[in-house]
Each structure stands twice: as structure tokens, then as C-alpha cells.
Amino acid sequence: MRKPLFIASFLVILALPALAEKVIVLGFDGVDARYTERWMNEGKLPNMARLREAGTFRPLRPTVPAQTPVSWSTFSTGIDPGRTGIFDFLRRDPKTYLPVFAAFDETKEPFLLGDRNPLAAAAIILIPLGLIGALILRRRRVIGAIVILIAAGGAAGAFAATKKYIPATRPGVINRRQGTPFWEAAASAGKKTTVVHVPVTFPATDFHDGHLLSGLGVPDMSGRVGKPFYFTSELDFHRSGANEFSIEVVQLEDNKGVIETKIQGPPNKLFNDPLYISIPMKISVAADRNSITIEESGQKVTMKAGEWSDWTEFVFPFNPVITLKGISRFHLISVQPEVKLYLSPINFDPRNLPPGFRISTPAKWAPELARNQGLYKTLGWQIDTWAISEGFADEQMFWDDMNFTVAQNRKMFNSFLAGDSDLLVQCFEFPDRVGHVFWRFMDPQHPAYDPVLAAKWGDALLRSYQLMDAIVGDAMKSAEKNHASLIVLSDHGFASFRKSVNYNTWLVMNGYMTLKTGVQVKDRNVEMLFDQGQFWENVDWSKTRAYAMGLGELYINLQGREAHGIVQPGAEYDALKKELQSRLVTMTDVENGEHPVRRVLAREEVYRQFDPNMIPDLFITNNDGYRVSWQTSLGGIPKALLDPNKQVWSGDHCSVDPEIVKGIFFYNRKLATDRPPYIADVYPTVLGLLGVKAPYALDGVELK
């Protein structure tokens, strides 16, 4: 009787899926399925072609909208953007209509003991010296009294100095993304995890037996997404870009001899000072005009034209007690006839992070990585796309910085592959950044296409994909050696960005938005988000029914939700949404007869759950060749409905229909189902491989 039971039990065990000893999840930002498949078929991506042959390759469906923080947040949590709350880079405050960053809120946190810092400092002096004085007073009154007086004076001095030099608060950050990342669920089940550079993971939070280094979302020292510097002695300097990104331009007083200048550092938020902390920099031009020597923060750096410096340290003193330390690299563009010096965004020094600035968990891991593997960029958006977009850098400068960044991140990745984690997750951003600025060389119809530059840089995207292929090869070797499961994916694909669509302009032209007369309006730029620039100054909200903000979102000026809402909830609201959906898709580009808008999706169509006060009413998705304008994303209202995109930032995905910009999904196992993978499917698939139960109901399904 026991034998059949034993056989049945054995067959049941065989039927269960084998749990993976190790799972490797390798993410790449912005890799397009169409080009990946094409170049695999042409034999140009041999590792990925081999992975496809041995396992599975499918185009991956990104989120709506197909944006980096949106898709990666769904990847991390297994739930749709309606539940994560991350639906765009920007969100609006319905009470003010102002744009703010969607993923993070800035807060003020107590520094040490907060308002009690002066009292604590005084007590540290007063109590021990006072006790000593009291003991002496019993035997030697004069000496005891002197000690007590010294204690009182020291305590008063400590109180005053602490009040002057030690802040009561420090800036803090709250990550608004909802949901539990799959690596935290795995760690709670006893799995050792390592997570590196996944977007929207700042500030890092502790979880059991886990290591995490934050990705997109970590600011530079100025508090920006990334602000490079350009020092120039050109008197007639004119930037070629549109000034929509944060670039600090510094005019040098001369082009020879010793030139005194300054480097602008962090805002003085510790002491509520509106000014930035700046430090002096001296540039000495050699007599032969072939090199310069830079002096700042006690260091000397000598460079020739075309050279990059090594990592350079920057020390910004708030006062004699408190300093912030950063790292960056210089690039000397030219010495003659004019000095042109580039400084990449200043990163927080991972060896000397300020209190409470958590870019890793455990907190000590960030400095440990710097000691063991060398300095690295802590900035979330690591590769500088701003300088080339605004005309301060050329293609070679961008490419050099990209390769430098990837080399360090790849070094980290290979060390983690050799580690003992049950789950390793690492993301690389470089394909997305290359796609943004080099797409113009792949599309002869693009307004920024340059045949001369295309002859040199037309294969830049392919080269970046081949670099990705080499990294995939590293992961494949490790997976084969350790019998690990390997998933390779991207968050979205790419499309050509030939023309900008000004949705607020369309709303004005079609009677949905009304403007005030006689109000002067400046073009929007990213800097306005940080320095409290004006928004919507010429909009008459009493006659406006809809407005656009963010990278492809439309909001109804709803009564009871928006501060000056006029559209009644219910039938009027529903009718207006349907009207906008039907009319926007008829928008026509008169130059070619094409329709810039592919679909207009109501939030109920794409999200099963959402906060109706936060999530946009409509998502406008574009056809290939079109994208929402930068001005629209910040609430601008240009004159023209469509503008040719003559900028370096020539490829995009942010408002393009997700069906057009599909990402990639590779798996070193054969999938039985033909269902196209959705980025939320990675969560249950990884947990299934590890034998871990999901902590809540998911919007993705396990791929088998």
C-alpha cells in the first residue's frame, strides 16, 4: 500500500517548477524591440541572439505612459501606475495648478536634536564642569566658583555657537511611489538581495539582508536632476539650445593669465538662505596657451585641450563647522582663442555623504563601494544629456562621458555577479541617453539630421546596443556557471521626435482654454521648477475647461477638485472627456496630412485603481515622429500648434503610444505561453522563481 503512495508523491514533486538557486535581472533603459530584433537577425548582437535561441525573446509592453520612472516603478512593485502613483515625471497640485516632481516630496527633518541643539550643546559643557566646580567649591571656594563661572560662560558660548552654526533642520525627501518592491518581498522571505541603480529607489530604505544603491531620483549637489557648468571667455557667446535644461553658464573675465571665478554649489537650505554656497576657482592659462591649471578646494588640476580630468573633489563650506563634499570631472574644450571649460554635474561624494542623505542600504554600503571599487557617480541621471542638448558639448564629449560611466557601472555589475546574492537586480541607463541625442542621425527626415555628422555617428545607437550585448554576455556566463535564471528587459522603446505638439495651444484654438490679454509670458524651462517660476500667468481659469501638463496628460478643470474648476462632475465631465478624445485624434499636420495623436485614453481604460484627485483625466499618445512639446509639459502655450524639433534631443518615447515604443524581454527559459509580456509581469515571475509569495494582488502575471 505504501509503494503507490510513494510513487504518487514523487510524481507530484516532479510536476512542481524547480526553484532557481539564483535570479539575475538585468535592466536597460530605453532599448527598442524593433532595432534589437533587427540587429540580432543581422548578427550584430550575438549574445542576445544566443539568449533568444536558448530561451525566449518577446517585445515588452510598457506602461501608459511609456516613461522611465513610470515603467520602472511598475517593474519594481508589480502594480499599475494608478496604484504606484507614479504616472509621469511631473504631477500638478490641483489647488494651485503648479507642476511638481511626481516621485518625490521635499521635507524638513530635524538635524540632530532639532531646536534643542543649542540647549544640548550648553548642557554638554555646563553639566560636567558644573559638577566639578561644585565638588571643588566644598574645599576651595574661590577655585570652585571660578570653575562654575567658566562652565556657565562655556555653556553660554556653546549655546550661541550652536545656534549660529548648527541648523535645527535639514532637507529631507519622501519617495511617493506606493507598493512593495519585489526585492523587499524576496528579502523578507530570507533571500539575500543586491539591487543597483533601479529608478525611483531614492532615498534608500533598509530591508532584511539586502543591499541597494539608488538610481534615477538621486539629485546632484545643486538639488537638480543634473546641472553642468560651462565656463567661457567668449564675449559674444550664444547658446545654440533652447535653454530648457539647467546649465550654469559662467562668463570668464579674460582668456589669458590668471582668471578668478566661482563655482556655484548647493542651495543654503540648512539656514533658510535663498543664496547658493559658492567656492572660488582660479584658472591659470599657460604662457604658450596650450594648457590651463585649475585651483579649487586646495587642489591643482592641469589640463590640455580635449582632456578630461580625473575625479576632482569640491568642498562647499556653509560655515566653519559644516561643509558638503562633492566630486566631478572637468573637460577642457579649448584654450585658444578662447577658454572653454566644461564641468559635469557635481555629485555627492559617496565617501562623505551628509547625514540623512541615503543613497544606499545599508548606509555604509555607498562609501564601502567607493573604497573597494573606486569613485562613482551618485547622481541618478548619470550621463549628461543637458550639455549636448544646449550646445555646450559635442558628440565626442558625450560619448566619452557615457563610456566612462558605463565602465564603472559594469565593473560593479561584474563584482556583484561573482557575489552570493540569491537575487541580483541592476539597471543601466546608457541606451536611453544615446537614443535621446543620437536618433537624429538615424532619421534623414528629422529636422536636426546632419549628413556630415551622420557619417560619423550614424551607428552610435548600434554601438550602444553592442555595448549592452557585451554586458548581457557577462550575465549569461554567470547564469550558466551558477545555474541561475536570467531576465533581461527594458522599460520602453524609442521613436523619432521630429515635431513637438503644443496641446495647450490646441485647447486655446478650439475653445477649451481662454487666455487673458496683455499678459507677458516667458518660455518655460526646468529651472522654473526649482526656483519657483511663474506658471499659468495668462490663463483665465473662469473660462477654461481643460489644460495640459506633464509629458502627455490632460486635466479637466473640474469643479470641486481644481481650485477654480468650472466643469460640473458627472454628465458634463464625462461628455467633455469623450469630446476631447474624439477631437484630438483628428488633429492634422497640414504639412504632410499625418495625425500627431494616435489615441486618447481615459484613465479608467488604462488603470484599474487610481486616486481621482491626482491621476490625469486623459492620456494623449502620439504617433511616431511626434511628441508633446517641452513647453506643454510645463504648462506653456506657444503660438504654433506644431513646431519642428531642430534640437539635439531628437529621439523620445515619453508621450509616444506604448504600442509603438515596445521594450525588450529576454528569459533564459522557454515560455509556454504566447502572451506578450507586460512590465508588471516581471514581479510575479521573479518571486515565482524564488518560491516567494507576493505581498498583495498584482497587476502582472507570472510568465511560465
Contact 463, 412 (CB under 8 A): no
The overall longest dimension of the chain from CA atoms, in Å, is 101
- C-alpha–C-alpha distance, residues 331 and 375, integer Å: 18
Task: Burial-class residue 374 by CB neighbours within 10 Å (0-12, 13-18, 19+).
Answer: exposed
CA-based radius of gyration for the chain: 28
Cα–Cα distance between 28 and 199 in angstroms, integer? Answer: 11
| Residue 640 DSSP code | S
Q: Lowest mean pLDDT: which of 70-74, 348-352, 388-392?
A: 388-392
Dihedral of alpha carbons 171, 172, 176, 177, sign = positive
What angle is formed at CA 663 by the lines to CA 658 and CA 665, rounded to 5 degrees?
A: 135
Whether 146 and 229 map to the same domain: the answer is no
What whole-number distance in Å separates Cα of residue 200 and Cα of residue 175? 8
The Cα–Cα gap between 374 and 99 comes to 38
Range in 33-42, 79-88, 220-229 with the lowest mean pLDDT:
220-229
Quote the number of domains for the chain.
Answer: 3
Taking the C-alpha atoms of residue 487 and residue 671, their distance in angstroms, rounded to an integer, is 12
Look at residue 238 and tell me whether its pLDDT is greater than 50: yes
Residue 240 in this model has a pLDDT that exceeds 60: no
**Residue 156 shares a structural domain with residue 279:** no
Q: What SS3 class is residue 508?
A: helix
pTM: 0.92
Integer Cα distance of 704 and 562 in angstroms: 45
Q: Do residues 635 and 501 both lie within one domain?
A: yes
Residues 262, 161 within the same domain = no
The whole-number average pLDDT for the span 421-426 is: 98
Residue 214: the pLDDT is 98
Interatomic CA distance for residues 124 and 60, integer angstroms: 61
pLDDT of 13 higher than 70: no
Q: Are strands 210-213 and 193-196 parallel, antiparallel or unpaired?
A: parallel
Q: Which of 304, 331, 348 lies at the terminal end of a domain, its last residue?
A: 348
Average pLDDT rounded to a whole number, residues 173-186: 96
- CA–CA separation, 295 and 263 (whole Å): 11
Which tens digits make up the pLDDT trace of 280-317?
Answer: 999 999 999 999 999 999 999 999 999 999 999 999 99
Residues 511 and 648 in one domain: yes
Which grid coordinates are listed for 698?
A: 498584482
Q: Establish if 632 belongs to a structural domain.
A: yes
Q: Write the pLDDT tens digit of every residue in 543-580.
A: 999 999 999 999 999 999 999 999 999 999 999 999 99
Joined together, the cell numbers standing for residue 516 give: 487673458
Q: How many other CB atoms are found less than 10 A from the CB of residue 542?
A: 9
Residue pLDDT, tens place only, 185-228: 999 999 999 999 999 999 999 998 899 999 999 999 998 899 99
Q: Is residue 624 part of a domain?
A: yes
Spatial contact of 231 and 262, defined as CB atoms under 8 Å apart: no
Mean pLDDT of the chain: 91
Say how many residues make up the chain.
704
% of the chain surpassing 70 pLDDT: 91
64, 81 in Cβ contact below 8 A?
yes
* Model confidence band, residue 64 (pLDDT cutoffs 50, 70, 90): very high
Q: Are residues 225 and 162 in the same domain?
A: no
Q: Is the pLDDT of residue 409 over 80?
A: yes
- How many Å apart are CA 304 and CA 163, to the nearest integer? 46
- pLDDT over 60 at 239, yes or no: no
**What's the pLDDT band for 2 if we cut at 50, 70, 90?**
very low
Q: Which residues are CB-contacts of 447 (< 8 A; sequence separation ≥ 6)?
A: 498, 499, 644, 645, 646
Residue 264: inside a domain: yes
Residue 250 shares a structural domain with residue 340: yes
Task: Answer yes or no: is 361 within a domain.
Answer: no
Strand partners, 515: 539
Q: Last residue of a domain, which of 348, 368, 392?
A: 348
Residues 658-675 have pLDDT tens digits of 999 999 999 999 999 888
Give the DSSP H/E element, type plus range, for residue 452: helix 451-457
pLDDT of residue 8: 36
Residue 631 pLDDT class (50, 70, 90 cuts): very high
Backbone angles phi, psi at 299, to 5 degrees: -115, 155
State yes or no: pLDDT of 140 exceeds 80.
Answer: no
pLDDT at residue 138, as a whole number? 62
- The rounded distance, in Å, linking the Cα atoms of 31 and 665 is 10
* Angstrom distance (rounded) from CA 630 to CA 565: 25
Neighbouring C-beta atoms of residue 316, cutoff 10 Å: 21
What is the pLDDT, as a whole number, of residue 5?
37
- Between CA 488 and CA 667 the distance in angstroms is 7
Which of 82-96, 264-278, 291-305, 437-451 comes out lowest in average pLDDT?
A: 264-278
Residue 146 scores a pLDDT above 80:
no
Q: Are residues 129 and 255 in the same domain?
A: no
Amino acid at 150: I
The reply to whether 517 falls in a domain is yes
Phi, psi of 303 (to 5 degrees): -140, 150
Whether residue 443 is contained in a domain is answered as no
Structure confidence at residue 10 as a pLDDT band (50, 70, 90): very low
Joined together, the cell numbers standing for residue 281 give 576657482
Can you give the pLDDT at residue 377?
98
User: How would you classify the pairing of strands 323-328 and 330-334?
Assistant: unpaired
Q: Tell me how far apart the alpha carbons of residues 507 and 620 are, in angstroms, rounded to a whole number.
A: 13
Please check whether residue 225 lies inside any domain of the structure: yes
Cα gap 297→517, rounded to integer Å: 51
Q: DSSP string spanning 298-367?
A: TEEEEEETTPBP--EEEEEESSSS-EEEEEE-EEEEE-SSS-EEEEPPPEEPTTSPPTT--SEESTTHHH
State residue 202's pLDDT score: 97
* Within a domain: 622: yes
Residues 522 and 643 in one domain: yes
pLDDT category, 14, cuts 50, 70, 90?
A: very low
- How far apart CA 71 and CA 677 sit, in angstroms, is 13
Same domain, residue pair 516 and 644: yes
Q: Give the contacts of 351 (CB within 8 A, at least 6 positions apart).
A: 325, 367, 370, 371, 375
Q: Are strands 323-328 and 625-628 parallel, antiparallel or unpaired?
A: unpaired
158, 282: one domain? no
Q: At what angle do helices 460-482 and 430-438 cross, to 10 degrees?
A: 170
- Whether residues 158 and 290 share a domain: the answer is no
pLDDT at res. 260:
97
Residue finishing a domain among 329, 348, 367: 348
List helix spans (H) across 548-599. 571-584
Lowest mean pLDDT, pick from 275-279, 350-354, 479-483: 275-279
Which is it for strands 229-232 and 248-251: parallel, antiparallel or unpaired?
Answer: parallel
Contact 677, 703 (CB under 8 A): yes
**Amino acid residing at 147:** V
Q: In angstroms, rounded to a whole number, what is the distance separating the alpha carbons of residues 312 and 299? A: 8
Domain that holds residue 142: 112-166
